[in-house]
Structure 1
Amino acid sequence: MATQTASRNSTGTLVSKVSEALRRSILDGTFQPGDKLPSEAQLTQDHGVSRTVVREAVAALRSDGLVEPRQGAGVFVLDPIGFAFKRTHPSVDQERIYTSLEILEARTPLEIEAAGLAALRRSPAQEEEIFERHAAGIAGRHDGKAWSEADIGLHTAIARATNNPLFATFLEMQGKAIIPQTGQIVETDEGGEVAYRSLLIKEHERIIIAISSGDEQGARDAMRDHLKGSLERYRNLLRDERLRHMARLHAVKP
């Protein structure tokens, strides 16, 4: 009996190690959305474990929403940012989410236009400021306060690069509230904070590269995807909380 228990514990530990290794590879971009994971045989060889361990590890990733098995084709990577987002928001403050949604809805059309104008109008000094703010975000991704300041700074720098002061004025009037997660950030990597910020950094990179290249439409598209993605994530968070609340109500016996 003791031997069986030890065997189960050992298998569980191996499953955790393999699933965490694969999870890190997805979150750090080694495996991109749409990529096919290595075959079961290859993963077995790479990690020195049994096929059973690999299957359970992949099942854990599927449960997290990070991969999707497709019959006859293999296991494919899904967009990891929603997973990382949920890990950073284990509890829901509905009032805060409503406020975040309202601000994001107001920001989205304004910042899409700002990104396009910045691609056309930015000065060399303004472009340098955008890159500096982005670099500060990369350097500060392990620190909640530094990250939020760099994130706000980047969006404001893009607004200033339109050379229409009203864009920056709108963002400055909102203060720290323009970044929905500011009030929820913790100072450590608990819940995948750094993984989530690293994924946002990639979205930021797409925006600033388009601006730097003078690609007006590309800058608009990148900013739209960035902000629309945030809107969708917060709406999903609110929807999931509503569904949980409904389930709790149904579970209450009359």
Structure 2
Amino acid sequence: MTGRMTSRAKGAGSLVAQVSERLRKDILDGVYAPGARLPSELELTEAHGVSRTVIREAVTGLRYDGLVEVRQGAGIFVLDHQSRATPPKLDRARLSSDLEVLEIRTPLEIEAAGLAALRRSPAQEEAIFDCHAKVLECIEADQSIRLADFALHKAIAAATNNPLFTQFLDMHGAAAIPQSKTVADNRTAEQTAYRRLIHREHQAVVVAISDGDEKAARSAMQEHLRGSQLRYRDLLRDLRGLGSDA
């Protein structure tokens, strides 16, 4: 089952990357000039021979690159990319599969948190605290917390003393941590607030593990990962922002 899901995710990701690159090339080559409206979602679907989902994810990638914007009820319009600073790029091929990985992670990491509370050694507990502190350092330095976030979850998995939990995270790497939304310079406070929310959720997990409270550790991890799923779904809806005629 896992192999089939992985294969399907990779196939969809490949199509998204191909369509996104074609559209990007057309935009950069001037086929679609700044201010021009791209073909509708239906037209793009027919032209590229792919599903609407693929088109939506490809457009999401273009939005993250600052090449297009979606105007509700009007369509997709090309931005003046030459006068815009290029925002940080995200791994567009994983936008859909991130949520799938997160859904699989949730029951496994709830169990991992409970086991870590029961089994952690003093050295493993210290490693968890160190990783938690690193997340805060990244927040204070206005840096991405993705790698530090991943390291914390790995430290918790290691504290189960069951190597299969760590192997699962290693299989996906930092991609197991959902990508957060890039924001404009004047909205960095919003990004920081989001990161601090994640840090508070982590703290509840870390404290419960340190206290040896299995029930509280499971509950805190469930709240954190279920909340991440809700936030990620909101992010995808916001990024797509496509009307029925777009």
How far did residue 195 of structure 1 move? 1.4
Residue in 1 aligned with 2:199? 201
Distance in 2, matches of 1:130 and 1:214, equals: 13
Residue in 2 aligned with 1:110? 108
Q: Secondary structure at the match of 1:163?
A: coil
Distance in 2, matches of 1:101 and 1:140, equals: 24
8 A Cα contact 2:178 2:232, kept in partner: no
Residue in 2 aligned with 1:84? none
Q: CA RMSD in A?
A: 3.0
Where relative contact order (Cα < 8 A, 6+ residues apart) is larger, the structure is: 2
Residue in 1 aligned with 2:178? 180
How far did residue 233 of structure 1 move? 1.4
8 A Cα contact 1:143 1:188, kept in partner: no
Residue in 1 aligned with 2:151? 153
Distance in 1, matches of 2:183 and 2:125, equals: 30
8 A Cα contact 1:160 1:167, kept in partner: yes
Residue in 2 aligned with 1:51? none
How far did residue 106 of structure 1 move? 1.2
Deviations 1:62-114 (A, max 9, x none): xxxxxxxxxxxxxxxxxxxxxxxxxx9x9999854311101101111110000
Range moving further from structure 2, 136-145 or 105-114? 136-145
Q: Secondary structure at the match of 2:209?
A: helix
Residue in 1 aligned with 2:25? none
Q: Does 1:135 align with 2:133?
A: yes
Q: Gapped runs of 5+ residues in structure 2?
A: 1-63, 71-89
8 A Cα contact 2:154 2:169, kept in partner: yes
8 A Cα contact 1:144 1:188, kept in partner: no
Deviations 1:105-160 (A, max 9, x none): 11111100000000000000000000000011111114465622211110000000
Letter in 1 for 2:108: L
8 A Cα contact 2:142 2:192, kept in partner: no
Q: Write out aligned runs for 1:1-254 (5 A).
A: 96-143=94-141, 147-181=145-179, 190-191=187-188, 192-240=190-238, 244-245=241-242, 247=243, 249=245
Q: Secondary structure at the match of 1:180?
A: coil
The TM-score, its normalising length taken from structure 1, stands at: 0.55
Over 3 Å counting, the alpha-carbon distance change for 1:226 and 1:241 in structure 2 is same
How far did residue 173 of structure 1 move? 1.5
8 A Cα contact 2:209 2:217, kept in partner: yes
Distance in 2, matches of 1:194 and 1:103, equals: 25
The TM-score, its normalising length taken from structure 2, stands at: 0.57
Distance in 1, matches of 2:234 and 2:183, equals: 21
Distance in 2, matches of 1:177 and 1:94, equals: 11
Distance in 2, matches of 1:126 and 1:187, equals: 38
Distance in 2, matches of 1:229 and 1:123, equals: 28
Over 3 Å counting, the alpha-carbon distance change for 1:235 and 1:147 in structure 2 is closer
Larger-Rg structure: 1
8 A Cα contact 1:119 1:211, kept in partner: yes
Over 3 Å counting, the alpha-carbon distance change for 1:236 and 1:190 in structure 2 is closer
Distance in 2, matches of 1:234 and 1:117, equals: 27
Distance in 1, matches of 2:173 and 2:205, equals: 22
8 A Cα contact 2:131 2:151, kept in partner: yes
Q: Gapped runs of 5+ residues in structure 1?
A: 1-87
Over 3 Å counting, the alpha-carbon distance change for 1:105 and 1:113 in structure 2 is same
Q: Secondary structure at the match of 1:162?
A: coil
Over 3 Å counting, the alpha-carbon distance change for 1:241 and 1:133 in structure 2 is closer
> Identity percentage over the alignment?
52
Distance in 2, matches of 1:145 and 1:108, equals: 25
